[in-house]
Amino acid sequence: MQYFYKKAKYLCTKIRKTSLHPMSRILILLSFVIALVCLPLDAQTGLEFYLQQAVENSPFLLELHHRQEKNTVEAERLKSLYTRSTIGLTGESVMVPIITQDNGKTSFKLDAQNADKYWGYDLAQSSSYLHAGITWNQPLTGGAFLKTEQARLKIENQQSANDIRLHAHDLEKSVTDEYLLCLLDKTQMQFADTIYNLLSHQYDVLYRLATKGLAKNSDLALLKIEQKNNESLQQSALESFRNHLADLYIICGIRDTILRNPTDLHLSLKIKSQEESPFTEKYRLDSLHTLSLLKSSLLPYRPKINVFIDGGVYAGNYNQLYRRMGMSAGITFSWLLYDGKQKTMMERETALDLSSISNYRQRFLLQKEQEKQKYLTELRNQEKQQKILKEQLHAYDALLDNYCRELQQGNISMVDYITILRNKIQVTKDSMLLETNTQLVINALNYWNW
């Protein structure tokens, strides 16, 4: 917003010098003020806003929360499966028709129960019957099965919670990186404003000298060219700001197109906490989950005992259905004793999975230390470079002050002044870029030192 304020101040100065009617001047200034008020760039927005938006709008984080809710529902389903009784309705009707020749007569019977001379299925092996009833079944050994599955679901919930922390940490780094690039563009725009004011001041001074014959018109033309170059720098910084802000909006899932003005940010190195890092916690939970899956796979090898009661009708003669209603009760027992060594194979597969997880963990720890050392070395080098650039900037500031005085006295040419000014601009841009890179390195170190 400072850029537009300076533009307005400059415009007011120019309008006062024109020969326009006072009412026309007022209308021009009023239009410019309205444009500034309507400009959305005035909205100040800090990093916390973008981090919050990124977390709230992340579909992956939403999926992880849904996964935890699904595990809660699954725990209730397994509780019903292993510990609660079930009631089912069953029915079966079998018709075995035959053609009989008993007593010298050929006849067709739909549900014959016995015959001596007939065509059809052997009634000793298969005969007509009707079975229909309700069965109640209650597991007696499901408690141990349920505990095993509950332990697995608990580990999966811990995995989801850790994945939420990891993804939120990844989002924090990505959002912060993009936010720092937006701040770099903002700083470049502010620097362009400073150069604009400096060139405008020099142009006004040189213009007054030229009207008195104390300065060359060619110097004025050269200064005008430099002003155009600076306007190009301003426009380039603004376009870069728009692009980086658009990328930031994409990461955060922000739908609007408001050009929010980012507030200043200065990162500092964070001290690693003493608790277990979520990075390494992931591998520990993966190992526990692999073991829990093995225990769930071995559930069929445990003995199962169920008690049941059923009641209904079971009749071979359809004419006697009303006399064949009754009930039965009993206990079922099953225990898998041998399966062709499938159990041993599953245990071997689990051992291989655990070995892979351990290898990934060791490789990650090595990568983490290498990343930290790389960024620490880069940070030290950047601090040295920043010190050199600051010394150069101080020297250029003092040199430009002297050149300004000598330029007004006509002791040096505008070409010399512009040359020094361009050198300072380049060093300043290098310094701003180096400062942003330093912040990016600190952000990377904070990411790995977690």
Query: Which pair of structure tokens corresponds to residue 431?
Result: 């310094």
Looking at per-residue confidence, does 209 or 146 come out higher?
Answer: 146
pLDDT at 1: 44
Interatomic CA distance for residues 58 and 50, integer angstroms: 12
Mean pLDDT over residues 126-142, rounded?
Answer: 88
Provide the 10 A C-beta neighbour count for residue 173.
Answer: 16
| pLDDT(355) > 90 | yes
Query: What is residue 450's predicted lDDT score, i.e. its pLDDT?
Result: 86
Mean of the pLDDT values across residues 256-266?
Answer: 85
pLDDT band at 36 (very low <50, low <70, confident <90, very high): very low
CA atoms within 13 A on the CB side of 249: 13
Which of 152, 240, 117 is closest to 189 using CA atoms? 240
pLDDT in tens, 86-132: 999 988 888 888 888 887 788 888 777 777 888 888 777 777 788 89
Q: What is the pLDDT of residues 317-328, one digit of tens each?
A: 777 777 888 889
User: What's the one-letter identity of residue 293?
Assistant: L
Considering only residues 180 and 216, tell me which one the structure prediction assigns the higher pLDDT. Answer: 180
Quickly tell me which residue has 């526990």 as its tokens: 288
Q: Are residues 268 and 442 in contact, defined by beta-carbon separation less than 8 angstroms? A: yes
Identify which of 184, 176, 204, 270 has the alpha carbon closest to the alpha carbon of residue 9: 204
Query: 3-state class of 136 per DSSP?
Result: strand
pLDDT digits (tens, 9 = 90+) for 200-246: 888 888 788 778 777 778 888 888 888 888 888 889 999 999 999 99
pLDDT given for residue 117 in this prediction = 84
Tokens, residue 277: 């890092």
- Residue 202: predicted pLDDT: 82
